[in-house]
Amino acid sequence: MATLEIRDLHVSVEDKEILRGVDLTVNAGEVHAMMGPNGSGKTTLAYAIAGHPKYTVTSGQVLLDGEDVLAMKVDERARAGLFLAMQYPVEVPGVTISNFLRTSITALRGEAPKLRTWVKEVRDAMDDLKFDPAFAERNVNEGFSGGEKKRHEIVQLELMKPKVAILDETDSGLDIDALKVVSDGVNRFASGGDKGVLLITHYTRILRYIKPDYVHVFVGGRVVEEGGPELAEQLEAEGYEKYVSGGGEAAVESATVGGASS
């Protein structure tokens, strides 16, 4: 049963402190929603856990099942069971989805999947996401719409079966139909009870389809309030204004990292 523990995490970008002591635990079988205004540091947290070189951890711990994540290389973190779905998935010209997925799964499993079963695995995952199987032979995210990119992210999630999935604004750029399909994919992943989900979002609309066990309000580089699903409803009604203090911290954070810490 997987557990992701974040303890007093401090992270800087270009010598500017963005995360200021984050404490959070995501256990297997739990869905956590992290909500906060633009520039509060939510994406910084996701990328720091994943190992992006732009984000410098200055103190604190990130543990996965008791193992020190921060001591691992990026690929080691993925093999240990961490998964990051990015807000803006990148294009990879010259690499087809089918090759990308098979190479990724080979790296995770330590051996190439057998073709006779692999083709069915991919087709089933794409069918579940209502994702045209013809996309398997297209270059990764090249010319894809926002919904197609996010469907591809969840196809990866379903095939890779990580221990903990960090989903950074997975609802960004989705129309209502794509939102429902992608949410169904996340719910299938979480339904086994042996995996954890940290869902980063600005809005409550995705929480109509993915029901969180816990909601965290993230402002100024730290968690400032925690609660159950009712907290999301409160945020929908009242916004973040009462949490934002200190002379416009959120705007300062956003300007510092050019919006990357959204």
Phi, psi of 148 (to 5 degrees): -65, -40
Q: How many CB atoms lie within 10 A of CB 15?
A: 8
Q: In this predicted structure, what is the pLDDT of residue 245?
A: 64
Give me the sign of the Cα torsion angle 165, 170, 176, 178: negative
Give the angle 77-81-84 at the CA atoms, nearest 5°.
Answer: 70
Pick the closest to residue 36 from 226, 230, 208 (CA basis): 226
pLDDT < 50 regions, the chain: 246-262
**195 near 162, Cβ under 8 Å?**
yes
Contacts of 179 (CB under 8 A, 6+ apart): 171, 205, 206, 209
Q: Which helix (H) or strand (E) segment is 57 a member of?
A: strand 56-64
- Rounded to whole angstroms, the Cα distance separating 196 from 29 reads 5
Q: What is the pLDDT of residue 248?
A: 39
DSSP 50-114: HT-TTSEEEEEEEEETTEEGGGS-HHHHHHHTEEEE-SSPPPEEEEEHHHHHHHHHHHHHSSPPP
The pLDDT assigned to 24 comes to: 97
End-to-end CA distance of the chain: 30
Residue 97 phi, psi dihedral angles, 5° rounding: -60, -45
Q: Where are the alpha helices (DSSP H) in 129-228?
A: 146-160, 176-190
Domains and CATH numbers, the chain: 3-94+163-256 (3.40.50.300)
At residue 254, the pLDDT reads 39
pLDDT at res. 58: 97
Helix (H, G, I), strand (E, B) or coil at 192: coil
pTM of the model: 0.90
Annotate 41-52 with b (16+ C-beta within 10 A) or e (fewer).
bbbbbbbbbbbb
Taking alpha carbons only, the member of 195, 133, 201, 129 closest to residue 161 is: 195
What dihedral angle (degrees, nearest 10) is formed by the CA atoms of 74, 76, 80, 84?
20
CA pair distance 176, 251, nearest whole angstrom: 29
The sheet carrying 164-168 orders its strands as: 82-85, 164-168, 196-201, 31-35, 214-219, 222-227
pLDDT of 244: 86
